[in-house]
Structure 1
Amino acid sequence: VVLRERWDHGSPIDLFAFSADGSERINLTESWDLIPGAPRWSADGRWVYFTGGIGGDTHLFRVPSEGGEVEQLTQGEGRVGDVSFSRDFRTVAYAFQSPTDPGDVFVGTQGRGARRLTDLNGEWLVGRQLASPEPLAFTSPDGTRVEGWMLPPANPEAGSAHPMVLTIHGGPHGAYGNEFSFDRHLLSSKGYYVLYLNPRASTGYGEAFRWGTWGSWGDEDYQDVMAGVDHALETYPIDPNRLGVTGYSYGGYLTNWIITQTDRFSAAAAGASISNWVSDYGTADIPRTKESEFFGPPWEAEGQENLIRASPIFHAQGVSTPTLFLHGESDHRVPIEEAEQMYVALQKQKVPSRFIRYPDSYHGGWTPWRYLHRVLSTVRWMDRWLGATPVS
């Protein structure tokens, strides 16, 4: 329907309750503007429980099985996962992580009054100084409110300007938030400010925001992240000449796009990055993303125009940002030829660039060592071009 009728947005995800014979159907979350997770019936059949993202958090919710208001059960800045109920559904256990805690098991009554049962990472955290992120809110040039977070250096030097790395999440229909991130803490421990944002197309902010880049990837999302960079420079002691940008999947795409639009970044690291939507259409395993969000395939005029306009490779002339490309050779979601094209464009223009290829690695599910190598390679690239030592 979305493709046939050329909607200017995608379809919402809702929870439905069906009668056994299929004669009745109730949309339980029709008036709830977020995305529900997998449902679970209560023992007495009165409630349907599910988790869902809201802003930068993930919490436990429930809704009456015959329809009604959605109720949030858990609270706090963090992410709930792996929920398990007692037989009578009066007690619930779940994993909960926060920006400074990789996660532990909590138990409570219907999610309220929860108490921690484990301290799995307490010994590991002893002696490690982790910075706490600060929430941000700012407006994009068109007035749209955007949220994000700034993770400061773990050991900032007073009176000094530090380098900053902008990180961009994948999706684009995903979200950063109050989760624990080894990658970001590693950069923080090296003396970087780490800016991570939820630009338009992110989830957790309603349907209009989720589909805010429909037909215009590289426009509103680019404006949002650059407005975040400007806000960060106005708020924190950051050296504007030592800015880096990195991302994976969609984040890799937007990294490629950014370096074709501005020379404000002194280093970039693009993971599993798209450079050419036309070639990606014919080689990736999700062509419908292009058919829907770009209004058609490359042989139709509107689709062709949008795909080419949003492809970094067609805007690569004059790129000057030193860029590292990291890609799995067995990636079918974003085939490796996408990064190869952008790498060649930079090499032809004598822009400092490096390509690291990972054999037998897909879009996700990397082995721990290859994932760690990718993270460390990104940090070392930033160190090379930005330098982690603060400038007085």
Structure 2
Amino acid sequence: MTQITDRFGPDFSPKVSPDKTKIAFLGYDDKFLGYQQNSLYVMDIDGDNVQVISQGFDRNISNITWRGDGKIIYFQYDSEGMTRIASITLSGKVKDIVDELGGLSLGRPYSGASYTISKSGRYAFTYGNVHNPADLASGFNGAKRRITDLNKDLFDYKTLGKVEEVWYESSYDKKRIQGWLVYPPNFDSSKKYPLVLEIHGGPFTNYGFRFTAECQLFASKGYFVLYTNPRGSTSYGKDFANLIHHNYPSQDYDDLMSGVDHIVERDYIDGDNLFVTGGSGGGVLTSWIVGKTDRFNAAVVAKPVINWYSFVLYADNISFFYKYWFKGMPWNNLEEYMRRSPISYVGNVKTPTMLLTGEDDYRTPMAESEQFYAGLKLNKVESMLVRIPGASHGIAARPSNLIAKVNAITAWFDKYKK
């Protein structure tokens, strides 16, 4: 075995060219940033003449495949909440091929898709959008043909809520923020509707133009649902994602509040019936929000980090978080860890708050939720802790848990609707 790359940073996903003379691979120089974006490299088969061919392409590249003639490399990427297949020449010219690669998360509209492509350029991929969970499609030269319609028997007698793309400016620095608004089915513009702000996790991930069972279920119960990509989200380039480097939570809060402000201007949104929820990183931001404002009638904090000091010492990747998300060990940076911890603001909370976490969650352990719940109880805030037996960080991995989660959230919100 011979080592052929040696930089400080990961090199991975090597793919040998059809003529066996070159290797394409992904990687980046590790700079200990919260978000580090893959670039695409090509080198000779012996490791010489390494060249980055994606220079200037400011999106994360994945799933690379050579074309049969060795002149083109296909790849997958996210941009502004849309997943695409594209091609790149060895000189770095990028061309989009097809979009609407479906996210494989059923519950929430996360990115994540899969494709294969033949030597001649014909492709098959997971096809999905706001109207349907991922199905299988195929195509050639930009076309797409849906092959499966696995949920037709369901959607033939279910009415989905319309999904509208929205853009607005952050009150913090006027950066443009993208989001999507899910309407209740059979929407009537003469009526007033409550609004749920649903926040993604990560934080270095993205929501997008993808199906979301959870948001559609909220909508089916009469709520508008706003989901957005605040700063820190991927699919907008590395600088946008790293606006929260060593600064999370921070102005992502302003991005989210600006989104709510933007939507409540509509006549049919009831500004007196606002609700907020999110899981994982979204749970962090939900617990942060209720410590900063009492504009929401109720909140549901799912699988959160509440105390960064404790989290970095017992979560499932203790060698990572203190090094990439903070400047160092917690005992050397106590003020910084606690400044960014929602537990530090629990004394401000007046919003009725439910916590909801799996008992087998090793990413955001149950003790995080227990800390916040205890603080809320000591502060005499109406609160509830829901413990889900046998559930890990992916609470909705079991469909029954997804339904139970949505029912618990909407029951809590319904209780505090005016």
Structure 1 length as normaliser, TM-score?
Answer: 0.91
C-alpha change, 1:6 and 1:204, in structure 2 (3 Å) is: closer
User: After superposition, where does 1:1-392 map in structure 2 within 5 Å?
Assistant: 10-64=35-89, 66-75=90-99, 81-86=113-118, 88-110=119-141, 112-141=142-171, 142-287=173-318, 288-300=320-332, 303-364=333-394, 366-386=397-417
Deviation (angstroms), 1:236: 4.9
Q: Indicate conservation of the 8 Å contact 1:77/1:178, yes or no.
A: no
Gaps of 5+ in 2: 1-7, 10-29, 104-111
Larger CA deviation: 378-387 vs 187-196: 378-387
Larger CA deviation: 172-181 vs 121-130: 121-130
Identity of aligned residues (%): 34
Deviation (angstroms), 1:8: 6.6
Aligned AA (1:382) = F
Aligned AA (2:364) = V
Query: Aligned partners of 1:240, 1:154: CA distance in 2, in Å?
Result: 20
Deviation (angstroms), 1:109: 1.0
Cα RMSD, aligned residues only: 2.0
Deviation (angstroms), 1:131: 1.7
Query: Aligned partners of 1:32, 1:283: CA distance in 2, in Å?
Result: 37
Deviation (angstroms), 1:152: 1.4
CA deviation string 1:252-299 (max 9, x = no partner): 110000000000011111111111001111111234223322222212
CA deviation string 1:215-258 (max 9, x = no partner): 22122100100000100111352112211111110001100000
1:39 counterpart SS class: strand
**How many corresponding residue pairs?**
380
1:105 counterpart SS class: strand
Aligned AA (2:40) = L
Larger CA deviation: 317-326 vs 203-212: 317-326
Could you tell me which residue of structure 2 aligns to residue 390 of structure 1? none
Larger CA deviation: 142-151 vs 20-29: 20-29
Query: Aligned partners of 1:314, 1:82: CA distance in 2, in Å?
Result: 41
C-alpha change, 1:10 and 1:84, in structure 2 (3 Å) is: closer
Following superposition, which runs of at least 4 residues in structure 1 exceed 4 angstroms of deviation?
Answer: 5-10, 76-80
Deviation (angstroms), 1:7: 6.2
C-alpha change, 1:119 and 1:9, in structure 2 (3 Å) is: closer
Query: Aligned partners of 2:47, 2:82: CA distance in 1, in Å?
Result: 35
Q: Indicate conservation of the 8 Å contact 1:100/1:180, yes or no.
A: yes
Aligned AA (2:300) = A
Deviation (angstroms), 1:78: 6.1
Query: Aligned partners of 1:117, 1:368: CA distance in 2, in Å?
Result: 25
Q: Indicate conservation of the 8 Å contact 1:82/1:95, yes or no.
A: yes
Larger CA deviation: 286-295 vs 44-53: 286-295
CA deviation string 1:106-136 (max 9, x = no partner): 22114x1222222222221112111221111
Give the structure, 1 or 2, with the largest relative contact order (CA under 8 Å, sep 6 or more).
1
Aligned AA (1:340) = E
Deviation (angstroms), 1:93: 1.3
Aligned AA (2:61) = P
Deviation (angstroms), 1:76: 5.5
Q: Indicate conservation of the 8 Å contact 2:130/2:163, yes or no.
A: yes
Deviation (angstroms), 1:6: 7.7
Gaps of 5+ in 1: 388-392
Q: Indicate conservation of the 8 Å contact 2:77/2:84, yes or no.
A: yes
Larger CA deviation: 126-135 vs 176-185: 126-135
Larger CA deviation: 128-137 vs 168-177: 128-137
